[in-house]
Chain A
Amino acid sequence: MTLVIRGGTVVDQNGEQEADVKISEDGSILEIDKNLKGDQELDASGCVVTAGFVDLHSHLREPGQEDAETIQTGSRGGALGGYTALVAMPNTTPTMDCLAVIDQVRGLGQESICEVIPTAAMTVDRKGEQMAPMGELVDAGVGIFTDDGNGLQDPRLMRRIMEYSTGLTHRLGRPIILAQHCEIEALSCGGYMHEGAWSSRLGIPGQPAEAEELMVSRDIALVRLTGAHMHFQHLSTAGSVEMVRKAKEEGLPVTAEATTHHFSLTDAACASYDPVFKVHPPLRTDEDVKAVKAGLADGTIDAIATDHAPHTDHSKEKSFSEAPPGMLGLQTAFSITLEESGLDIHQIFSLMSWRPAVIAGIADRHGMTVSPGSRANLCVIDLNETWTVSGKSMASLSSNTPYEGRRLRGYVRHTIQAGEAVVIDGEAQR
């Protein structure tokens, strides 16, 4: 059965053209032309047709917290947000630090409507004490290692992991990516929001920007020492962006991501004391938001990630300091980026699909040009249609969106996962 996406504007690395896209039964693009016919047809009139998005930073909560999210529901949210691949963070219970759990996540991913790329913890149980069995995990195809949620505090162990990873490059066929949540806990501990004028006024203990920046600085130095590839997760401060910019100018193998919330919200949002605005790293100042946007625009930051972090209503019905950090992102990321980033559509697709696909090691099937022979992982978006954010009506089992009630532009009409129309007219098909 062939599928045709009819009447849209194809946007990819090579430019734009008005054309239909014909997809074969085996899930690859057959033809790009006008007036194509297929067994199944999707209307894309008024829409752009582009490569599906790749999220470098999703918390899918399974195994361990299936009341907040499952791989199935998280993938559904992802597909509704235009994603075709989600890089799953390893802070599950048990931790994704061994083959058994990686296999479980991968298996559940295969039954879901996004491709799920498991990461593995750098250290056993993300405790920052003992290196995870990286060789074994690399042989099983894991290309990204992270203790996300915890930055690796011990500089000596970090150095060892970096060195060790460089010896595994030939086994993976590309450099191992070490992804760091940058936060020096001795400086941040006891802080629940950004430290500054707002935290002082609200009486909520803060954590200074320097808690993030000191680890970014440390890891850049260690990259220089070891030659390992470091990916900086969710950069949130002006200082961090500037350090990564300098490191790239120096030619160091570093990449970075920023989340949608770090360029669309500030610490002023915490004035409601609603823990839906509690997140790590915390929402920062206007100046930091500007710096993150500048980093996205000039290429310092390689990817827009979600840090999609579902939490049940029950767990968020606490005081700001007691509630767990994290917010939903998959279904709002594109629209928020369109509204808030100030970037053009080519820059946005590059940051949400083309470049993160390379970092995730899946550029052979995601973030590809929309051309014959490419894998059909696509999304179809109406850039002008608006919709209203409602946590309760999202696919996630949780509803902790910080954008509740916002009316946003950019509606994902269809999503094609490996040739299958998994979202049609804004409805997940399974």
Chain B
Amino acid sequence: MNQSPSKSLLSIEGMTKHELEEILELTDTFDEIGRRPIPKVPALRGRTVATLFFEDSTRTRLSFETAARRLSADTMSFSAGSSSLSKGESIRDTVEVIEAYGADLLVVRHPAAGTAQRIDNWTNASVINAGDGCHEHPTQALLDAYTLRKHKGSLEGLRIAIVGDILHSRVARSDVLAFSMLGAEVVLVAPPTLLPPSIEGWPVEISYNLDEILPTIDVCYLLRVQNERINEGLIPSVREYVTDYGLNVKRASTLPKDALICHPGPTNRGIEIEAAVAADPRSVILDQVANGVSIRMAILFLLLGSGRNLMEDADVEVNQ
């Protein structure tokens, strides 16, 4: 992965197709562990995983903590709101404190792009980028790719539309890179104000017409559109966005029968997705959530684990 190999996972950019596939393949093993009666193995016993969240999160944080516990790692957690950051401590100070408590791996989410990369330069611990501003969210892209692969066998040749606020979406940046590296073609669908100022070098096509795109795709990946985008003058109203870009039942009926509907959550029901569409059998939104734990187990294991034999059943020990 980036920086020194296997130390940290900071972005999809810089990873190879082989590295992505290795993680996806290993995830099958952890998926199986997650379905055991006691879903726990001793693989990371004695190792400490710290979650550093400078921004709110439900899914990402819970899934990392769940993944770490299923691998028997110890966990500690830090949130910006309740910490010394509010007393003026710098991020670097915070990282040094957490490292001093013995963290082997830091899971970092921060509202500013590049923060995980900055932290990685300051620490000997491994770092996983759990979302940095509008830049990347690589573990989300991996779980998305895993979900699509599970349902479709492979991403090779799939046509995937990513619809919504691409400009502010770290998920979109990571997904574009991961999906295209794994052989899919990607269409970004959004009004021009919600697209990045330049897509020079991006392996994507652009469309402002969702209706035209829907019948042509295998996957419709919806992104959250936040109310504050209206205050920023990016769209005239939620109503107009819903009219032009919201996936309602009528639009969903034009999707191919075997198409998949994805969303990284949390969904804004009634905005980018109609409630009935979220419940459509083609929706794999909850699968994405469940796969989030397996993919993060695989990543933690790859970065911290010392051998695959440690994945053997740990029932005896755990039952004591």
A208 at the interface (CB under 8 A from B): yes
Known: A319-B91, A321-B133. A202 touches B113 (CB 8 A): yes
The 8 A-B pairs at the shortest CB distance, nearest first, are namely: A273-B114, A203-B135, A319-B112, A200-B196, A203-B134, A203-B113, A197-B200, A321-B112
- When distances are taken between beta carbons in the complex, the residues of chain B under 8 Å from A318 are 90-91
Q: Pull 14 A–B residue pairs with CB atoms less than 8 Å apart, ordered by A.
A: A199-B197, A200-B199, A201-B173, A201-B201, A203-B135, A203-B173, A204-B134, A204-B135, A273-B113, A314-B90, A317-B90, A320-B114, A321-B112, A321-B133
The CA of A208 and the CA of B110, in the complex, are separated in Å by 24
The reply to whether A320 and B112 form a contact with Cβ atoms under 8 Å apart is yes
- When distances are taken between beta carbons in the complex, the residues of chain A under 8 Å from B173 are 201, 203
A69 at the interface (CB under 8 A from B): no
- When distances are taken between beta carbons in the complex, the residues of chain B under 8 Å from A208 are 197
B170 at the interface (CB under 8 A from A): yes
The reply to whether A197 and B201 form a contact with Cβ atoms under 8 Å apart is yes
User: What does the 1/0 interface line of A334-359 toward B look like (CB < 8 Å)?
Assistant: 00000000000000000000000000
Selected from B92, B118, B170, the residue in CB contact (under 8 A) with A203 is: B170
What is the distance, in angstroms, from B172's C-beta to the closest C-beta of chain A? Answer: 10
B132 at the interface (CB under 8 A from A): yes
The reply to whether A202 and B135 form a contact with Cβ atoms under 8 Å apart is yes
- Interface residue tally for chain A (C-beta within 8 Å): 22
- When distances are taken between beta carbons in the complex, the residues of chain B under 8 Å from A317 are 90-92, 122
A329 at the interface (CB under 8 A from B): no
- When distances are taken between beta carbons in the complex, the residues of chain A under 8 Å from B133 are 203-204, 319, 321
Which of A196, A203, A317, A322 has the largest number of chain B CB atoms within 10 A? A203
- Interface residue tally for chain B (C-beta within 8 Å): 26
The reply to whether A205 and B134 form a contact with Cβ atoms under 8 Å apart is yes
- When distances are taken between beta carbons in the complex, the residues of chain B under 8 Å from A322 are 112
User: What does the 1/0 interface line of B104-140 toward A look like (CB < 8 Å)?
Assistant: 0000001011110110001000000000111110000
The reply to whether A200 and B198 form a contact with Cβ atoms under 8 Å apart is yes
The reply to whether A321 and B91 form a contact with Cβ atoms under 8 Å apart is no
Q: Which single residue of chain B is at the shortest CB-CB distance from A196?
A: B198
- When distances are taken between beta carbons in the complex, the residues of chain A under 8 Å from B91 are 317-319
A419 at the interface (CB under 8 A from B): no
Q: Tell me which residues from 310 to 329 in chain A have a Cβ below 8 Å from any Cβ of chain B.
A: 314, 317-322
A295 at the interface (CB under 8 A from B): no
User: What does the 1/0 interface line of B168-207 toward A look like (CB < 8 Å)?
Assistant: 0010010000000000000000000000111111100000
Which of A196, A200, A274 has the largest number of chain B CB atoms within 10 A? A200
A282 at the interface (CB under 8 A from B): no
The CA of A272 and the CA of B114, in the complex, are separated in Å by 8
